[in-house]
């Protein structure tokens, strides 16, 4: 679903241009080349423009005041084409599979018939979820959001600030902030994402400070505790991912009891693993192991041998966890598993660091060789994963694609780029780099962070290297 109409272009080349290796302008319903040659033109895996209902162009607030009821009226005005049930269904089919910020039972049982019956916080949450699942317009070739998506994003920020100024703070508002932060992460909006995440942590602290005085804010029931668990897990996952991305400093949530009724670090150990929190357990555990890699890399001891042994244990745990995930994930579902992607991010960081240990130390020779071999196998696996999508044999389901995948592909490409810069110009490295860059460009059709990563890769790529991979 998109926030506004774009050009009539498909996401992939037509079948005829793809099979004949021709350059296709992806015009819909018929590309220019097929039209000029008077040939049939068919697309696979592309939704015809206009076939999905779009949000109308975001409209400025019509309400005269700035009170919560006025904010709700503005949001309802921008959601006039959608019902709560429709957005809930979109959430369950597109966002819940990889980021279940609300349990399926919670959202199914709490659907309001009309917007008038929903709270202002829940209404804002639905708008932010609709914003997150909206794909950038197909003709965008840079890192900038389309005007309509940008305007909707700014409206979300404005409404959040107005509710904050009015003293509103609930789990739904915290969820809304989290979804908005994830939108910024997915589209590479920095430093906005870091600033927003800090605001989320502040909102959680305020929630804890005032919950004992305002019984309406929280509930002592098991359901209320489970809701806090889900929010805590989401906070930790986003925080750990952002920390791995910037590769420095500890995560902000590390060792903290974000909600006063949950134990620190491992909130899932506080309550039973019911169906409502099970969906987040795998991504949470994967992000925890990914964080252990970052801690071992950024906070080493003085004993190199201990550091290597510690990392070896973490890597072995990651590999075992990866094997478990691969057994649970359906065939061809690896691309859409947030837990598996986070697990592999931890592995590529560990392998890359292992290839850079001090070569003068005899004891590290085996470590360097083992890390290099493991990294090559991982890169080859990514090459095998990407090729069917680049060659047109399979189509990506962009609706359920987690944004973490763009960073994994970028990190692999950056590792190979660094190899080439130091003279390791093997045919394998050139082949992998070209494939990963093309795959990153394909992923950027859904998450604009991919274009930011491509720019970072270009900055580290010499003209000679660029010529070799084109």
Same domain, 72 and 177: yes
Dist. CA 436–CA 421, nearest whole Å: 17
Closest by CA to 240, choosing from 292, 280, 173, 279, is 292
Same domain, 228 and 342: no
| 6-15, 86-95, 209-218: range with highest mean pLDDT | 86-95
Same domain, 255 and 323: no
Tens of pLDDT, residue by residue over 155-165, are 999 999 999 99
Structural domain span for residue 29:
7-44
pLDDT of residue 438: 94
Residue 263 scores a pLDDT above 70: no
Same domain, 251 and 343: no
Same domain, 11 and 97: no
Same domain, 404 and 436: yes
Tens of pLDDT, residue by residue over 207-241, are 887 655 444 444 555 666 778 888 888 999 999 99
* Alpha-carbon dihedral 317, 322, 323, 329, rounded to 10 degrees: 150
Same domain, 257 and 308: no
Neighbours of 251 (CB within 10 A): 21
Dist. CA 426–CA 181, nearest whole Å: 40
Same domain, 183 and 315: no
pLDDT of residue 369: 87
C-alpha atoms less than 13 angstroms from C-alpha of 266 in its C-beta half-sphere:
9
Q: Are 123 and 115 in contact (CB under 8 A)?
A: yes
Whether residue 309 is contained in a domain is answered as: yes
pTM for the full predicted model: 0.83
Q: What is the tally of structural domains in the chain?
A: 3
Closest by CA to 408, choosing from 313, 337, 462, is 337
Same domain, 446 and 363: yes
Same domain, 223 and 288: no
Q: Average the pLDDT over 418-439 and give the result.
A: 92
End of a domain among 201, 233, 262?
Answer: 262
Alpha-helical regions (H) of 391-446: 404-421, 427-443
């Amino acid at each position: 679903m998109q926030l506004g109409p774009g050009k009539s272009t498909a996401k992939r080349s037509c079948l005829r241009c793809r099979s004949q290796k021709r350059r296709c302008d992806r015009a819909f319903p018929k590309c220019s080349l097929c039209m000029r040659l008077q040939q049939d033109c068919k697309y696979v895996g592309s939704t015809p423009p206009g076939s999905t209902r779009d949000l109308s162009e975001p409209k400025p607030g019509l309400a005269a005041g700035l009170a919560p009821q006025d904010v709700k009226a503005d949001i309802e005005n921008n959601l006039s084409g959608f019902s709560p049930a429709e957005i809930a269904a979109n959430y369950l089919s597109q966002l819940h599979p990889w980021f279940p910020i609300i349990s399926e039972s919670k959202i199914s049982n709490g659907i309001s018939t009309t917007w008038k019956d929903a709270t202002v916080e829940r209404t804002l949450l639905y708008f932010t979820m609709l914003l997150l699942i909206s794909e950038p317009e197909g003709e965008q070739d840079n890192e900038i959001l389309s005007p309509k998506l940008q305007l909707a994003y700014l409206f979300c920020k404005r409404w959040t600030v107005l509710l904050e100024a009015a003293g509103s703070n609930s789990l739904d508002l915290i969820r809304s902030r989290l979804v908005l932060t994830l939108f910024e992460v997915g589209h590479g909006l920095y430093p906005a994402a870091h600033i927003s995440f800090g605001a989320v942590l502040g909102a959680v602290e305020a929630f804890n400070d005032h919950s004992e005085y305002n019984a309406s804010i929280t509930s002592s029931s098991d359901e209320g505790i489970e809701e806090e668990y889900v929010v805590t897990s989401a906070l930790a996952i986003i925080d750990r991912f952002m920390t791995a991305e910037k590769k420095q400093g500890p995560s902000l949530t590390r060792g903290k009891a974000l909600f006063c009724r949950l134990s620190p670090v491992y909130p899932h150990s506080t309550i039973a693993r019911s169906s409502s929190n099970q969906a987040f357990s795998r991504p949470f555990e994967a992000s925890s192991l990914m964080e252990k890699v970052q801690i071992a890399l950024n906070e080493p001891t003085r004993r190199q041998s201990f550091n290597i042994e510690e990392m070896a244990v973490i890597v072995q745990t990651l590999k075992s966890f990866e094997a478990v995930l691969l057994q649970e994930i359906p065939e061809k579902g690896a691309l859409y598993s947030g837990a598996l992607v986070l697990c592999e991010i931890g592995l590529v960081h560990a392998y890359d660091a292992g290839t850079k240990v001090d070569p003068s130390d005899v004891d590290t020779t085996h470590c360097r060789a083992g890390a290099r071999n493991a990294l090559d196998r991982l890169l080859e696996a990514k090459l095998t994963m990407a090729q069917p999508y680049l060659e047109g044999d399979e189509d990506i389901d962009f609706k359920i694609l987690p944004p973490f995948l763009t960073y994994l592909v970028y990190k692999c490409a950056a590792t190979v780029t660094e190899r080439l810069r130091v003279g390791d110009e093997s045919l394998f490295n050139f082949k992998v780099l070209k494939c990963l860059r093309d795959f990153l460009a394909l992923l950027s059709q859904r998450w604009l962070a991919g274009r930011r990563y491509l720019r970072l890769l270009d900055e580290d790529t010499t003209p000679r290297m660029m010529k070799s991979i084109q």
